[in-house]
Amino acid sequence: MKTATFKLAAIALLMSAGTVLAGPGGAGHGHGDETAYGKPGDPKKPARPVQVVMTEKDGKMSFIPDRIEVRRGEQVKFSLRNNGELDHELVLATLEENLKHAVEMQKNPDMEHDDPNAKRLAPKKTGEIVWAFTKVGEFDFSCLIPGHREAGMTGKIIVK
């Protein structure tokens, strides 16, 4: 019951704040889904598998690993696993976008993501993100649930 209510609230929020919260490149506006940090991957094409584990220990939260190097043009399949006791998410973006998004999340902590660059997982659950890194640069992945990034849940992707 509770979850359903949250979901409805999240949907209502997403609808009312569409422009602010639109996903990568404002998905569905006709220019592909190319973003400053690449684009959603094609599951039919080969991808380098990368395991990322979400953990909590002694009040610290983290991603293991928290630094991933990628070659430009490489497609990566992130296999995510939440080993913690709380919900966690991985949101892939530029650092600037993630910091902005974190502020939105503080206002709407129950906001849920259904974007190709993000995945939220309940404890002990697994999930996947397939992403094509088409641009060189340093990018961010963070858990934007309020307090989690601050507790250490953030990492870097370096595309060379």
Stretch that binds Cu ion, among 8-16, 83-91, 116-124, 133-141 (CB under 5 A): 83-91
52 binds Cu ion (CB under 5 A): no
If one asks whether residue 80 binds Cu ion (CB under 5 A), the answer comes out as no
Q: Residue 93 CB, nearest distance to Cu ion (Å)?
A: 15
Structure tokens at 110: 């129950």
Q: Are 75 and 129 in contact (CB under 8 A)?
A: no
Return the range that interacts with Cu ion (CB under 5 A); candidates 45-53, 67-75, 99-107, 136-144.
136-144
Q: Which of 39, 113, 120, 148 binds Cu ion (CB under 5 A)?
A: 148
Based on CB atoms, which residue is closest to Cu ion, 88 or 113?
88
Please, which residue, 39 or 119, has the CB nearer to Cu ion?
119
Q: Within 10 A of 131 (CB to CB), how many other CB atoms are there? A: 26
One DSSP character per residue, 1-42 reads -HHHHHHHHHHHHHHHTHHHH--TTSTTSSBTB-BTTBEE--
> What is the rounded distance in angstroms from the CA atom of residue 142 to the CA atom of residue 119?
11
Number of residues interacting with Cu ion: please give it, by CB under 5 A.
5
Report how far residue 30's alpha carbon sits from residue 122's, in angstroms, rounded to the nearest whole number. Answer: 33
Q: Does 88 bind Cu ion (CB under 5 A)?
A: yes
Cα–Cα distances in angstroms (integers) from residue 43 to residues 116, 147, 155, in the given order: 12, 32, 24
**Residue 145 within binding range of Cu ion, rule CB under 5 A:** yes
Told to check if 113 binds Cu ion by CB under 5 A, we report no
Question: Per the structure block, which two tokens stand in for 25?
Answer: 């490149």
In the complex, the residues that contact Cu ion under the rule CB under 5 A are 88, 143, 145, 148, 153
